[in-house]
Structure 1
């Protein structure tokens, strides 16, 4: 099954099991109908996005965005990260650009927030795949949950990480945590949970 077939399998699951996921009925609310009309991003749109941020998007992310440029109100990435259930909506390239203007638009290490993070907190969060930032210009948010938690592509991983890996920014208490090596693995994890 290729990535898009897997995404379609998840879409179906969300539509049929929205109550279990604690979501509104996507058919009744019209989210499903709206979602079906969302086109994919064109190769030009993807390329100009890459140019703007001076990055090369991973192949599977390009594939996903060629299929759907965002998911509006439909949560197409229902996931469990560190035992927390979060149903993420895919942001459009345009939303990603807008979000970058105020979120992950500067570099700030965890140590710059002593009121929020003790040395112990920082030690607990240490992960050799992720640089110890709270905000980082090289993190690109691409999916959001409740306007406060984000999935982000990491273009500046630490020693044991890999470029394009997926991080999750969880708000209140704030933390940045590793989610998957890429979107394909992330989608596979979702399928394992729902099957």
Structure 2
């Protein structure tokens, strides 16, 4: 959990005062929700569990009488400057029930780079991925997944980023730990509005 603690400490130092105040009202997921996530996804990374034990989502999430919407994650979009929300455990369980079809992108020969070769060309299937994050515009432009059913070129637990218009699926890290470390190494650039 050292990585999660370092991530959270760096995040709190990088957030604006208003965002930090909102985030400080958050609490961790219930043991029951964590147990359900682990039961449905036995390969769920401990670092994601650790993050959820600290805060159970930041995406239009109600904590008592306070609703928070604080972006705490990022990706490679716009050179790493595009912020994302962490979904709650319940949101992850619910949104990961649908198939993410990538086959329509593979039908177009001129769009061969639309699906990373590390991703199973048959798609992301329920029970084989966790949708854990939506981008700042409510996920319409970009979403992040942990993929447990990669192609032969990929690795189980890789982080997949979906980007809309033009649609593409790309592996941006080999694990959730590597993903968090990348955000740390990048200095939380996605939170810097002046960049």
TM bucket, shorter chain: 0.7 to 0.9
Structure 1 stretches of 5 or more lacking a match? 16-25
| Number of the residue aligned with 1:12 | 13
Which of 36, 43, 46 in structure 2 is aligned with 1:59? 46
Query: Once the 2 structures are TM-superposed, how far is the Cα of residue 180 of structure 1 from its aligned partner?
Result: 0.8
Which of 89, 110, 118 in structure 2 is aligned with 1:129? 118
Query: Once the 2 structures are TM-superposed, how far is the Cα of residue 179 of structure 1 from its aligned partner?
Result: 1.3
**Alpha-carbon distance in 2 for matches of 1:79, 1:54:** 23
Contact 2:114–2:167 (Cα < 8 Å) also in 1: no
**Alpha-carbon distance in 1 for matches of 2:105, 2:58:** 34
Which of 112, 137, 140 in structure 1 is aligned with 2:130? 140
**Alpha-carbon distance in 2 for matches of 1:36, 1:131:** 39
| Number of the residue aligned with 1:193 | 186
Contact 1:134–1:175 (Cα < 8 Å) also in 2: no
Contact 1:106–1:135 (Cα < 8 Å) also in 2: yes
Structure 2 stretches of 5 or more lacking a match? 60-68, 189-195
Query: Once the 2 structures are TM-superposed, how far is the Cα of residue 94 of structure 1 from its aligned partner?
Result: 1.3
Contact 2:3–2:47 (Cα < 8 Å) also in 1: no
Over aligned residues, Cα RMSD in angstroms? 2.5
Q: Deviations over 1:91-121 (max 9, x none)?
A: 10112233235xxx125342x357xx52131
**Alpha-carbon distance in 2 for matches of 1:41, 1:94:** 9
* Number of aligned residue pairs: 174
* Shift in CA distance, 71/109, structure 1 to aligned 2, threshold 3 Å: closer
| Number of the residue aligned with 1:161 | 154
Give the SS at the match of 1:56: coil
* Shift in CA distance, 34/153, structure 1 to aligned 2, threshold 3 Å: same
Give the SS at the match of 1:10: helix
Query: Once the 2 structures are TM-superposed, how far is the Cα of residue 43 of structure 1 from its aligned partner?
Result: 3.5
Query: Once the 2 structures are TM-superposed, how far is the Cα of residue 11 of structure 1 from its aligned partner?
Result: 3.0
| Number of the residue aligned with 1:21 | none
* Shift in CA distance, 74/173, structure 1 to aligned 2, threshold 3 Å: same
TM superposition outliers: structure 1 runs of 4+ over 4 Å: none
**TM-score normalised to the size of structure 2?**
0.76
Q: Deviations over 1:20-40 (max 9, x none)?
A: xxxxxx61xxx4333212111
